[in-house]
Structures are given as structure tokens and as C-alpha cells.
């Protein structure tokens, strides 16, 4: 009766494959459940044990929902465009397509070896032209809606990778991938107007069943702030400077102004004697990496322009400075500085000896800026007011005097949507010689990637596509004009922005998805993935989804109803798994030694799904032992000879049904497994159980360890697949208890336990407890003040 997991697992994987056990179609007679994993990037190193954590969780929920009568959509695919593949292609000269196909093969074999209940007929790959045709199609929708535009912008140029990166891909002045230095350089880029959706992306977060911290991160990223736009006249010029401020109430305390070095007015207003200094400063700022510019600890720098502005509230002249602590990309790129009540301005004023005028009472402005609420002083018509009232009054005053208006600003910026790379979706864009642009029509899609010899970027900043004349230069059949194709490609986020929609209807050649499939399957009921995508992927996908919603192409405002982030799995040494540390665990190794069911079970048993937790091979052995014991016990007919089940076993069984069901619903897989262990231990002690008991237990186990469950199910003489069986229902009858062992404590300290009938009245319990000889001892002649009796919980005697 050996547990031959290797044979068992291969046998059932083959069975599921051949019988298409998990094939799924739209079926209006059943409620649907759409479960989604963040699909993997098929890297060259294959799966690591972090991947199956989320996948196992979704698989358990999927199999459970199936047994609960749902029509479950649980697909898998590949986020297969991406930089590492292209870099590998550059190094080896092998076509990224070939590399990708190979990597996918490895990933697929590995995933299949884990027994996930995917409908493999729905497999998609973002680098497949059948898929990216529709990514391009969505781009045309964005373009035609006016949400895509080209702009000459300061971009993050990485000389090493020869690519432009979005701000969010640059970490501390280095590229997120590879850690190369990034500098700023102006370049024409495709942009998506995600800012137009900022408010809705913010508001609709409220209705999502997402972890609060993720919602908070998105809120912070969008960074909505309400304030006022104030116009400052420039002395001896007829121009004005607009500033954005959330603290218009401190206007009387504005003692200078600051423009970002890139601000267009800087060169216009700088006086002759300051020109040299200012130009030098601008040059220096441009040469600085983001790392240097955003280093909070550094001393503030800046130069005086020689020009002055007029503070509109008191007509005082205040100097205008240039400093790189003001960012051109936020607000208007200019600020009014209130050093008494803003720490950054305070530091700057201190350094350059500029006046600091307090306009709110409180704090000690000799030491630091006072940023809290207080009563206004030195503020004319605001004197005596608190912050909120003063802001309102000032804003009304500004509007009345046509000196400003209310304004809302966002940290969120438009999305830089082009990459100078080969391995991405080409844009469906033609550029004519006269500089005009045409976005292709549906019937002209897809624009496929041409074959190239070399994958290196052109070096001028353009992608390798710029070198392929035959692809690049075309005569547009629709207009007859000569045209050049757009040589940029889309970023990796593009494909993953809508893959969940394609999963609803992956084989559709006519449309990206049918209305019927979309209406039936959407939204995604449960989305599990890593927290690293908390902001970008999830925000971009929500943005696209809202655009599609506005176009009537999808029926839900939000794509992902419930989101859960699985925690990282660390190496045995408690460090992040990495090749360099040599602590990477390959799932193949675990499958070979202990089997897929053990791997699945262990990943779930380690601890709460959301938590970061270290790997332990000993732990794998622990759950492996459990499976061996379960197999040896239940597969042996000698143990299933009981005719009528013991009440005690029935009780544990039904407790187990209840706990496993509740825990799966709550994604608490670790405690569900421990309950199944308790049950198995109980059965082994009992010696024999009924076949019915064994079958019920096997069904409970089946979402977790599906291969073993199928095997047992067959051994019991049933027809496969157990995946189609109904999930057991617990019966309250068997859970009833009539006696309870009450812990009795004196002044909150547990002293002894006493078995009492649950039917007893409080007075009877009290009498029983007090007459117990142990109680007499603990009372020690003293009189009890009162007795607290909590039904089925505890008895506490207060002495």
C-alpha cells in the first residue's frame, strides 16, 4: 500500500487532459465564477516555488466552486512580450519568438505537473499576433477617443539599455530592470491620458473588495489634492506666474517664489546680471539624475533670477528664485514659498537667508516650519481665523478679485506608452511625409512584427524596427500617400491590461470578445497575484477597462471585484530567493521527491496566503507524511468496514466539513489543512470508519490534493472525476453537544475544569461549581462577590 505519487499524479493529469475535465463554456443555467491569476512572464529560468502559491490558492477555490455548482472560469496564459527575452535575443541572435515558445513550453510542463484545473483550450499569449491584433485594436479605440497623443517630453533615457522608461520603472535614478543609470532627455513619445480618468479611478476604489493598503497605495499614487491657483504679477513685466497651493490661507506669509529650472518663464524674466548664474544652474539641474534631484537629505540649492513678483494680497514685492526642489511636472511648476509654514520652503529660506514671516500662531519657527492648524496672524482679513475658514475666505477673495481660482491637482501623470524596442506590440500608426498621422482601421490589423537580423536598438533612440526598410516605408493603400510606420512598440503593460477579457472568449477571430461571453463572465470574481503590481498594472488595467466601459464594450465599471495579494515565499535562509544567493527552490525538485499534491499542500500549509514566509523542506515532509497516512488509511479496505458511523467520528467529520468550507471561502487554507490532519489522526485512532465517511473526507481533500483524491475516489469504486462531485454539506445535528468542560477561573486565573450539562441553568451551574471541592479550596473561606458564566465558554468566580 505504498503511496506512489509519481504514478498517481501522471495518471490523473493524463486523464484530465484527455477528458478535458476542466473545459468550460458559457452556460446560463449555472452561476459563473471567474478566478484569475496574474499570468506569468515566461522567463528562461522556469517556474520557482513562488508562482504556484497563488496558483494553488486559486485552484483550490476553483475546484471548490465547481463542486459547489458554479461554472468556473480559471484560465492561464503568458505575458510574453518583455525585455529579458529581447536582451537574450540580442545576446544570442535567437528570435525572441523562438525563445518565448521554448520558455512557455517549460512553464506549461511545470504547471501541468502541478495538476491545476485550467481550461488549457483558453491559453493565450500576448506576443501571439492573434492576441496583439486586439491589443492594437484597443489602442485604436484609445486613439480615436483622443486618449492617445504624441508629445515631446523629458523622458528617462537609459544609455545602457538604450530605452526610454516610464517614471515608475525608474527606481532611485536607476532602471528597475538591471539597475542601470538613467538620465533625462527630451524625446517624442506616445502618451495615454490616464489623468483624464483620475477622479473615477479614485472614486471607484471605494466599491472594490480589495485590501485596504492596496487601495490606499492607489489613492496616494493618484494623489488628488484640492487647492487654489493663484496668479502673481511679475514686477516690470506684463506676465504672470501661476502657482498651485493647498494653503492659500498662508498667502500673507509668502516671502519669495520659486520656479522649476525647466519653467518657461525662467529665461524670460532673468535679469542680465543674473543670467549667467541662472543658466549655469539650469544646466546643472538638467544634468542631475533623478536620484540626486530627489534626495531629500540634500541641501537645497537655487539661484535668484533678479526678478520680483507682486504678492497679490498685500502688493509686496517678493524675489523670484529658481530651484530644483520645485518640480516642473507637478502643478504649474512654480510655487509661492511660505517658509514659516512649509518645511521645504523653511529649509530653503534658512539656507539663503530669506525672510520668514509667521502667519499662524503656534510652533517655533526658529526651529522648524509650523505646519499645523492655528489662528491666523499678520494676515489682514484672515486674522483670527483657523486654517479651514481662512482657506475658504481666501479662495473666495481670490475669485472675487480675479486673482485665482479653485484647482485640483493630481500626482498621477499621463502614461508614457512607447518603448524603443523590438519585442512589443507595434503601433497601428502611419506617419505621412507631411507630418500627419493616421491610425489604422480595424480591417488593417494586426500590424505584425517583421523579421529582423539584429535586435539591438538603433542607437539613435529608435527601435530596431527603424532599420527594416521594407516594413518601415509603405505606400498607404487607403490614401495612396507615402508613409512611414511608427517604430515604437508598446510597453509590456499593454498586453496585461486586458488579458482577462480575452480569457472570456479567447478563440474569437471576429472580435476581441463577444458581448455574450463578456456579459456572462465579467467581472473577475477573484484575482490573486503579487503585491508588486499593486499600483501600476492594476491602475492601468482599471484605466483601460473604464475606457472600454465608456465605449460600451464592457458591462462593468471595474474589472476585478475581489483582489488578494499572496505573500512572498523566502528561501530556507529567510532571504529573498535569488540565483545569486543560491537559495532558489525549483518546484520540479519538490514534485519529484514528494509529489505535486505535497507541494500544493505545503504551499498552502505554510501560513496565511498574504504573508511573507520562508520555505522549509522539513515542512514539505510534514504534509507529505499526512498524505501518506491518509492514503494508507483510506485506500485500505480493511479500514472501511464500519457499517454505522460512530457519533464521535461523525462529529469530527462534520466539524471538518464546516471548517474546510468556511476556510476555503475565507482563503484560510492553512487552517483547513490542519483540520483535515486532525480528522485523519482521529480516524487512525478510531481504526475503522464507514465508506461514506471516507468518501466525504476525500471530497474535502480533493481541491487541495486532487490527484490523491481522484485515486482514492476510484479505489472506493466510484467513477471519475471527483471534481464533478458535490461538495459535502455539514449537518448541525452531528455537531450538537450536551455537555461542556467548563474552565473555571478565579479572578481571571484558570484553576480547574468541570464537565457540566449545557442544559443547566445559571443557578445550577453556580451551585455545581461552588460545591466542587477545588472551588472550596480556591475560595479559601472568602466569599465570592459574583460569578460570571458565559455559556459554552467560561466560568469566572470573582473573590
Partner RNA sequence: GCCCAGGUGGUGGAAUUGGUAGACACGUUGGACUUAAAAUCCAAUGGCCAUAAACGGUCGUGGGGGUUCAAGUCCCCCUCUGGGUACCA
Distance CA 299, CA 315 (A): 31
Contacts of 780 (CB under 8 A, 6+ apart): none
Which positions from 201 to 240 touch RNA by CB under 7 A, shown as an x/- string? Answer: -----------xx--xx--x--x-x-x-------------
Closest C-alpha to 267, from 318, 205, 320: 320
Q: Which of residues 328-357 bind RNA (CB under 7 A)?
A: 329-331, 333, 335-336, 342, 344
Residue in 14, 317, 589, 753 binding RNA, rule: CB under 7 A:
753
Residue in 673, 689, 701, 768 binding RNA, rule: CB under 7 A:
673
Distance CA 596, CA 618 (A): 16
Distance CA 606, CA 623 (A): 10
Q: Does 798 contact RNA by CB under 7 A?
A: yes
CB of 643 to RNA, least distance (A): 24
CB of 332 to RNA, least distance (A): 7
* Residue 170, CA distances (Å) to 160, 192, 397 in order: 13, 19, 42
CB of 298 to RNA, least distance (A): 6
Looking at the Cβ atoms of 137 and 631, the one nearer to RNA is: 631
Helices in 145-244 by DSSP H: which ranges?
Answer: 198-203, 212-222
Looking at the Cβ atoms of 719 and 792, the one nearer to RNA is: 792
- Beta partners for residue 498, in sequence order: none
Q: Does 46 contact RNA by CB under 7 A?
A: no
Looking at the Cβ atoms of 32 and 288, the one nearer to RNA is: 288
Looking at the Cβ atoms of 401 and 625, the one nearer to RNA is: 625
Record the cell numbers describing residue 521, joined without a space.
463572465
Which positions from 527 to 546 touch RNA by CB under 7 A, shown as an x/- string? Answer: ----x---x-----------
Q: Does 446 contact RNA by CB under 7 A?
A: no
Residue in 189, 487, 670, 698 binding RNA, rule: CB under 7 A:
670
Q: Does 668 contact RNA by CB under 7 A?
A: yes
CB of 50 to RNA, least distance (A): 14
Contacts of 330 (CB under 8 A, 6+ apart): 244, 409, 411
Q: Listing from the earlier edge strand, what are the strands of the sheet with 183-192?
A: 163-165, 148-158, 183-192, 415-416
Of the candidate spans 107-115, 149-157, 163-171, 351-359, the one that interacts with RNA by CB under 7 A turns out to be: 163-171
Residue in 244, 304, 498, 499 binding RNA, rule: CB under 7 A:
244
Q: Does 697 contact RNA by CB under 7 A?
A: no
Looking at the Cβ atoms of 422 and 679, the one nearer to RNA is: 679
CB of 330 to RNA, least distance (A): 4
Q: Which of residues 568-607 bind RNA (CB under 7 A)?
A: 576, 605-607
Query: Nearest 5 degrees, angle CA 153-CA 154-CA 157?
Result: 120
* Residue 323, CA distances (Å) to 268, 305, 355 in order: 16, 10, 17
Q: Does 796 contact RNA by CB under 7 A?
A: yes
Closest C-alpha to 301, from 348, 263, 368: 348
Residue in 18, 206, 236, 741 binding RNA, rule: CB under 7 A:
741
Distance CA 673, CA 704 (A): 8
Pairing of strands 794-798, 739-746: parallel
CB of 413 to RNA, least distance (A): 8
Residue whose C-alpha cell is 485594436: 137
Question: Which is it for the CA torsion 34, 37, 43, 46, positive or negative?
Answer: negative
CB of 465 to RNA, least distance (A): 30
Q: Does 260 contact RNA by CB under 7 A?
A: yes
Residue in 26, 310, 375, 684 binding RNA, rule: CB under 7 A:
684
- Do the Cβ atoms of 53 and 542 come closer than 8 Å? no
Q: Does 2 contact RNA by CB under 7 A?
A: no
Name the strand (E) or helix (H) holding 394. Answer: helix 387-400
CB of 17 to RNA, least distance (A): 31
Amino acid at each position: 500500500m505504498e503511496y506512489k505519487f509519481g504514478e498517481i499524479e501522471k495518471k490523473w493529469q493524463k486523464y484530465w487532459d484527455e477528458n478535458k475535465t476542466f473545459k468550460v463554456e458559457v452556460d446560463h443555467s449555472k452561476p459563473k465564477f471567474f478566478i484569475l491569476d496574474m499570468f506569468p512572464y515566461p522567463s528562461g529560468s522556469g517556474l520557482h516555488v513562488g508562482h504556484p502559491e497563488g496558483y494553488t490558492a486559486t485552484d483550490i477555490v476553483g475546484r471548490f466552486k465547481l463542486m459547489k455548482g458554479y461554472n468556473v472560469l480559471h484560465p492561464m496564459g503568458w505575458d510574453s512580450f518583455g525585455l529579458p527575452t529581447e536582451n537574450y535575443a540580442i545576446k544570442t541572435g535567437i528570435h525572441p519568438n523562438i525563445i518565448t515558445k521554448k520558455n512557455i513550453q517549460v512553464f506549461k510542463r511545470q504547471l501541468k505537473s502541478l495538476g491545476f484545473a485550467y481550461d488549457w483550450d483558453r491559453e493565450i499569449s500576448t506576443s501571439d499576433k492573434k492576441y496583439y491584433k486586439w491589443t492594437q485594436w484597443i489602442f485604436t479605440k484609445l486613439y480615436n477617443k483622443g486618449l492617445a497623443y504624441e508629445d515631446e517630453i523629458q523622458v528617462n533615457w537609459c544609455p545602457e539599455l538604450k530605452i526610454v522608461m516610464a517614471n515608475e520603472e525608474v527606481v532611485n535614478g536607476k532602471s528597475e530592470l538591471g539597475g542601470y543609470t538613467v538620465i533625462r532627455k527630451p524625446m517624442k513619445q506616445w502618451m495615454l491620458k490616464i489623468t483624464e480618468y483620475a477622479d473615477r479611478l479614485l472614486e471607484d476604489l471605494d466599491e472594490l473588495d480589495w485590501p485596504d493598503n492596496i487601495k490606499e497605495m492607489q489613492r496616494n499614487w493618484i494623489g488628488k489634492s484640492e487647492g487654489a491657483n493663484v496668479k502673481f504679477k511679475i514686477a516690470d513685466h506684463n506676465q504672470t506666474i501661476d502657482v498651485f497651493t493647498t494653503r492659500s490661507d498662508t498667502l500673507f506669509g509668502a516671502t519669495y517664489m520659486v520656479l522649476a529650472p525647466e519653467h518657461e518663464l525662467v529665461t524670460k524674466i532673468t535679469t542680465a546680471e543674473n543670467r549667467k548664474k541662472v543658466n549655469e544652474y539650469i544646466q546643472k539641474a538638467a544634468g542631475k539624475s533623478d536620484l540626486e534631484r530627489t534626495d531629500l537629505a540634500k541641501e537645497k540649492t537655487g539661484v535668484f533670477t533678479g526678478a520680483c513678483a507682486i504678492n497679490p494680497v498685500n502688493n509686496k514685492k517678493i524675489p523670484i528664485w529658481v530651484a530644483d526642489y520645485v518640480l516642473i511636472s507637478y502643478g504649474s511648476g512654480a510655487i509661492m514659498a511660505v517658509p514659516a509654514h512649509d518645511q521645504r520652503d523653511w529649509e530653503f529660506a534658512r539656507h539663503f537667508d530669506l525672510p520668514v514671516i509667521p502667519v499662524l500662531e503656534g510652533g517655533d519657527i526658529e526651529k522648524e516650519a509650523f505646519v499645523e492648524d492655528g489662528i491666523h496672524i499678520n494676515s489682514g482679513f484672515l486674522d483670527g481665523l483657523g486654517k479651514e475658514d481662512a482657506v475658504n475666505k481666501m479662495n473666495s477673495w481670490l475669485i472675487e478679485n480675479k486673482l485665482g481660482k479653485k484647482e485640483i491637482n493630481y500626482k498621477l501623470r499621463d502614461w508614457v506608452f512607447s518603448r524603443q524596442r523590438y519585442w512589443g506590440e507595434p503601433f497601428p500608426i502611419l506617419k505621412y511625409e507631411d507630418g500627419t498621422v493616421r491610425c489604422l482601421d480595424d480591417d488593417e490589423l494586426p500590424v505584425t512584427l517583421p523579421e529582423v537580423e539584429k535586435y539591438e536598438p538603433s542607437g539613435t533612440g529608435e527601435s530596431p524596427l527603424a532599420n527594416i526598410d521594407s516594413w518601415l516605408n509603405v505606400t498607404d493603400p487607403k490614401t495612396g500617400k507615402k508613409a512611414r510606420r511608427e517604430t515604437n512598440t508598446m510597453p509590456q503593460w499593454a498586453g496585461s491590461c486586458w488579458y482577462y477579457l480575452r480569457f472570456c472568449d479567447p478563440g474569437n477571430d471576429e472580435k476581441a470578445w463577444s458581448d455574450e461571453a463578456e456579459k456572462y463572465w465579467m467581472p473577475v470574481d477573484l484575482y490573486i497575484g503579487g503585491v508588486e503590481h499593486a499600483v501600476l498594472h492594476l491602475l492601468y488595467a482599471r484605466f483601460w477597462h473604464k475606457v472600454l466601459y465608456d465605449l460600451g464594450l464592457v458591462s462593468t465599471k471595474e474589472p476585478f471585484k475581489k483582489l488578494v495579494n499572496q505573500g512572498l515565499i523566502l528561501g530556507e535562509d529567510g532571504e529573498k530567493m535569488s540565483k545569486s544567493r543560491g537559495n532558489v527552490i525549483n518546484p520540479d525538485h519538490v514534485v519529484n521527491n514528494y509529489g505535486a499534491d505535497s507541494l500544493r499542500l505545503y504551499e498552502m500549509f505554510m501560513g496565511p496566503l498574504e504573508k511573507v514566509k520562508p520555505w522549509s523542506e522539513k515542512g514539505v515532509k510534514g504534509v507529505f507524511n499526512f498524505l501518506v497516512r491518509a492514503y494508507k488509511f483510506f485506500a485500505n479496505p480493511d479500514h472501511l468496514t464500519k457499517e454505522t458511523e460512530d457519533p464521535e467520528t461523525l462529529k469530527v467529520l462534520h466539524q471538518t466539513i464546516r471548517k474546510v468550507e468556511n476556510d476555503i471561502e475565507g482563503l484560510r487554507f492553512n487552517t483547513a489543512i490542519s483540520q483535515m490532519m486532525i480528522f485523519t489522526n482521529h480516524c487512525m485512532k478510531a481504526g475503522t470508519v464507514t465508506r461514506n465517511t471516507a468518501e466525504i473526507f476525500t471530497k474535502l481533500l480533493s481541491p487541495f490534493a486532487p490527484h490523491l483524491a481522484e485515486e482514492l475516489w476510484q479505489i472506493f469504486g466510484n467513477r471519475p472525476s471527483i471534481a464533478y462531485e458535490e461538495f459535502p454539506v455539514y449537518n448541525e445535528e452531528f455537531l450538537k453537544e450536551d455537555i461542556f468542560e467548563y474552565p473555571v477561573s478565579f479572578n481571571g486565573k484558570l484553576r480547574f475544569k468541570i464537565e457540566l450539562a449545557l442544559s443547566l441553568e445559571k443557578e445550577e451551574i453556580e451551585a455545581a461549581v461552588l460545591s466542587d471541592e477545588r472551588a472550596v479550596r480556591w475560595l479559601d473561606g472568602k466569599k465570592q462577590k459574583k460569578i460570571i458564566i458565559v455559556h459554552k465558554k467560561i466560568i469566572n468566580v470573582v473573590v
